[in-house]
Amino acid sequence: MYYTLSLSTTNLKTKMKALSILTVSFFFFLISCRKDEFTELPAGTTPYVLDLPENLAQYLPEMEIPADNPLTVEGVALGRKLFYEKKLSGDHTQSCADCHFPDKAFSDVVDFSIGIDGSIGTRNAMPVINVGWMNTLFWDGRSVSVEDQAFGPVVNPVEMKNTWAKAVSDLQSDPEYPALFKKAFGTDVIDSVLVVKAIAQFERTLISGNSPFDKYLRGEPTGWSEADILQAYQGYALFMDETKGDCFHCHGDQYNPLWTDNSFHNNGLDAVITDKGLGAVTNNPNDDGKFKTPTLRNLAYTAPYMHDGRFATLDEVLMHYSFGLQNSPTIDPLMKSVDAGGVQLSVTERNLIKKFLLSLSDDEFVTNPNFSAP
């Protein structure tokens, strides 16, 4: 039986803190903590103050918000309404929320997201969680800001199949929107830039940091039994162990509460690469088959998993890393057990890591009334 089964949670916290501290400097190297100078807020608007859970506030740099799009109460409210607005699609049947369901941690429920006329995409919709600290978005990293990301779906021929001219015209003729844009941005003349700025403001408020694991680290009631928390921390020990799960190189630790390195890896899904991922963006063959490391937060809600939704359950994900790795020219060196098919985790070890992963799921996030349709 693996040695951590006999450890108390207190001893585990001490042991894991010693291991975790080694990766702190690496995480802060990955994320800039530069703070932009904000331009003047639109007249009559109220600054929106982000309410961060203690461990996020302690270990994350200050959210980097564009100087020309500061958060305001009015802008966030408008962005929330637009996130659920079906008039952004060509036939007024689909909104952002139709591929990013709030009760699914703003992810989709199918492997490939479906557009307005039934067109099927090629990727699983990534969850919208803590994106204000993300320096790239989409599985292939083709967008470098939340605003940039929000431009794409409206005109995507597989998604909303609209033009920005039509979308803006439909909003401009709506009886509510001109006044809402006036309140948020000081003008009732709507354009695509203001639309995506508002959506980006709302998306930056979608902050998750109140999972049972977060609460345990903060010394708060978790809603879990002591036995469940102990198993979760034992799973975390395996997650951090370079000879066992060895997951932290890509997903970080408790001092990186994003649970992603914000980088790209070929994690051994295929021997023959058919989706180039990052390589299609950079045109560098060394990037073929590399995809962004997804956050581990809210995995209880975000199935199916991987860029193409190929795994329906966490058990399948853990089996892949244990026995299913496929070698290819660009496979990441971190997949060092590829010749053995994976890290060869036992059933007990896989179940403990699964318990830890589920402890990162935040019920308050998926039920937050501030995130639902207005």
> Would you name the residues annotated as active-site residues?
159
Report yes or no: 15 and 7 within 8 Å, Cβ to Cβ: yes
Report yes or no: 306 and 365 within 8 Å, Cβ to Cβ: no
Q: How far apart are CA 68 and CA 36, in angstroms?
A: 9
Q: Which residue has the tokens 């649970």?
A: 259
Phi, psi of 90 (to 5 degrees): -60, -35
Q: How far apart are CA 188 and CA 165, in angstroms?
A: 16
How does DSSP assign 176-219, residue by residue? SHHHHHHHHHS-S---HHHHHHHHHHHHHT-----SHHHHHHTT
Burial string for 218-229 (b: 16+ CB within 10 Å, else e) reads eeeebebeeeeb
Look at residue 371 and give its three-state secondary structure: helix
Q: How far apart are CA 113 and CA 122, in angstroms?
A: 8
Q: Which residue from 80, 79, 71, 83 is spatially nearest to 45, judged by alpha carbons?
A: 71
Q: How far apart are CA 239 and CA 204, in angstroms?
A: 29
Report yes or no: 131 and 199 within 8 Å, Cβ to Cβ: no
Q: Cβ atoms within 10 A of the Cβ of 21, count?
A: 11
